[in-house]
Amino acid sequence: MVPKRLLCISPGDLGAIDVLRADMPSWQVSTVRSIDEARSALRQDAYLVGLLMHVIGSQPHLEVERFLRQHSHIQWVGVFRAEAIGAPTWRDLVADYLCDYHTLPLDTRRLVHTLGHVHGHALLRRPRPRPGTSPSALIGSCDAMLRLRSQVERMAKVDAPVLIWGESGSGKELTAQAIHRQSLRSTGPMVPINCGAIAPNLIHSELFGYERGAFTGAARDKVGLIESANGGTLFLDEIGDLPKDLQANLLRFLQDRTIIRLGSTRAIPVDVRVISASHVNLQQAVARGDFREDLYYRLSVLPVTVPALRERRDDLVELAEHFFHLYSADKSPRLKGFSSKAVEAIAAHDWPGNVRELINRVRRAMVMADGRWIEPDDLDLVMPSPPIDAVLDDARCSSERLAIRACLDRTGQNVSRAARDLGVSRTTMYRLLAKHGMRG
């Protein structure tokens, strides 16, 4: 059972808090005197419900609004003087950020009831914890993600090269980051390189660096990206886009663990763990002659596949909620989350762009939504069509209802005659009338 925990911000007299605490024996009530102290408390512990005692109308408006915007995931209740919301700025703040409020003089019993109701509502809104969840950035509890996290944990314990395969936007870099964070190299740098984003004429000097005077414009020595990852992890994203001539140089580095800067003959030892990723099938690229077979086997000592989002349907709502809170600074303060129809539309979509597409749609919806809840239109998603059986059932019911109504009208609402004309018994006729909510 989740304990009921309340964070109370009360700059003034704490006597009312003591009375409240006595009336709430099942709650853990923590009290702070300022917004700065509240920030510190929220960094240390998690709260579903917060209480603002005499904060509205007595503290700097902008400071209070900034604090509530940063912590809009908490359900806030306010207690203040009635005249405080006479000012438009405070009235808007109460409407935007507080889920309920009480005015003085305080009725403690009513407040206790409100806080209990708010806590229950917060529990309903909170994503359900699932077995096997982890604080890793690899969010999700479906079988595919549990398997991926297990692989990541095992790969992090060794130093062998890893090759990550997955569709664009599925989370290959997040997987590489998770391996790095859990490895013994976590205190060292992780240097990501997108092999397809560097101009072909620059990629050699970017990877391996160069010496002063190596070419026109080389006014000083430059450390390459591989060398800058010394002691940590080198992440080679979209390795399949690496030009063929650079593949030979990379293979030599993997074999010798040394690099030679452009314009130099001196071999520099570099200690890095190499993680590569590709959205294309490198085995097929090898078969086509686009990728060196010996390099492929060097890179794929530990292969791992990141599942596409359409294979993680059980995680869709959890991921959407995660990104909603992650980018909460972008949203209107009135926006509370996803409507049930939006959740249904998210679950029905195929997500060809994977997690990257989900992030894009959620962030756009957070900016464009007009109401308190994100709807399918805000996500630019359509509601799934009902199953054909349901459509046919609706059509049959509609035709049946029209036939009964026409027959009753023709017989002057005489149930016996209408039943005879329709070829059913009187008992069946009454059952059909009850089914369609009609009177004879």
Burial environment of residue 331 by CB neighbours within 10 A (0 to 12, 13 to 18, 19 or more): buried
Least confident among 84-93, 241-250, 386-395, 407-416: 386-395
3-state SS, residue 49: strand
Other C-beta atoms within 10 Å of 264: how many?
A: 16
Structure tokens at 356: 């990257």
Q: Which fold has domain 4-125?
A: Rossmann fold (3.40.50)
> What confidence tier does 131 reach under pLDDT thresholds 50, 70, 90?
very low
Instruction: Report pLDDT for 2.
Output: 56
> What confidence tier does 354 reach under pLDDT thresholds 50, 70, 90?
very high
C-alpha–C-alpha distance, residues 205 and 213, integer Å: 13
Tell me whether strands 258-260 and 267-269 are parallel, antiparallel or unpaired. antiparallel
Average pLDDT in the 91-112 region? 91
CB within 8 Å of 262: residues ≥ 6 apart: 204, 205, 208, 209, 210, 211, 214, 215
C-alpha–C-alpha distance, residues 324 and 327, integer Å: 6
Q: Which fold has domain 388-435?
A: Arc Repressor Mutant, subunit A (1.10.10)
Check pLDDT > 50 for residue 185.
yes
Other C-beta atoms within 10 Å of 320: how many?
A: 23
Least confident among 140-149, 257-266, 419-428: 419-428
CB within 8 Å of 327: residues ≥ 6 apart: 362, 363, 366
- Higher confidence at residue 313 or residue 200? 313
Percent of the chain with pLDDT over 90: 46
For the chain, domain boundaries: 4-125, 143-305, 312-374, 388-435
Check pLDDT > 80 for residue 255.
yes
Instruction: Report pLDDT for 164.
Output: 97
Please check whether the two domains, 4-125 and 312-374, share a CATH topology.
no
Residue pair 233/183 in contact by the 8 Å Cβ criterion: yes
- Kind and range of the H or E element at 268? strand 267-269
Check pLDDT > 80 for residue 50.
yes
Chain-centre distance for alpha carbon 232: 28
Average pLDDT, the chain: 87
For the segment 391-404, what is each residue's pLDDT rounded down to a tens digit? 566 667 777 887 88
CB within 8 Å of 322: residues ≥ 6 apart: 127, 139
CB within 8 Å of 40: residues ≥ 6 apart: 32
Structure tokens at 166: 């997955």
Domain 143-305, architecture per CATH: 3-Layer(aba) Sandwich (3.40)
Check pLDDT > 60 for residue 133.
no
Residue pair 278/163 in contact by the 8 Å Cβ criterion: yes
Q: What is the pTM of this model?
A: 0.61
> What confidence tier does 331 reach under pLDDT thresholds 50, 70, 90?
confident
Instruction: Return the amino acid letter for 423.
Output: G
Instruction: Report pLDDT for 129.
Output: 42
For the segment 364-374, what is each residue's pLDDT rounded down to a tens digit? 999 989 888 99
In the block, tokens 């452009």 appear at 262
Q: Which residues pair with 76 in a beta bridge?
A: 50, 98
Percent of the chain with pLDDT over 70: 93
For the segment 376-389, what is each residue's pLDDT rounded down to a tens digit? 999 999 876 655 66
CATH class of 312-374: mainly alpha
Check pLDDT > 80 for residue 427.
yes
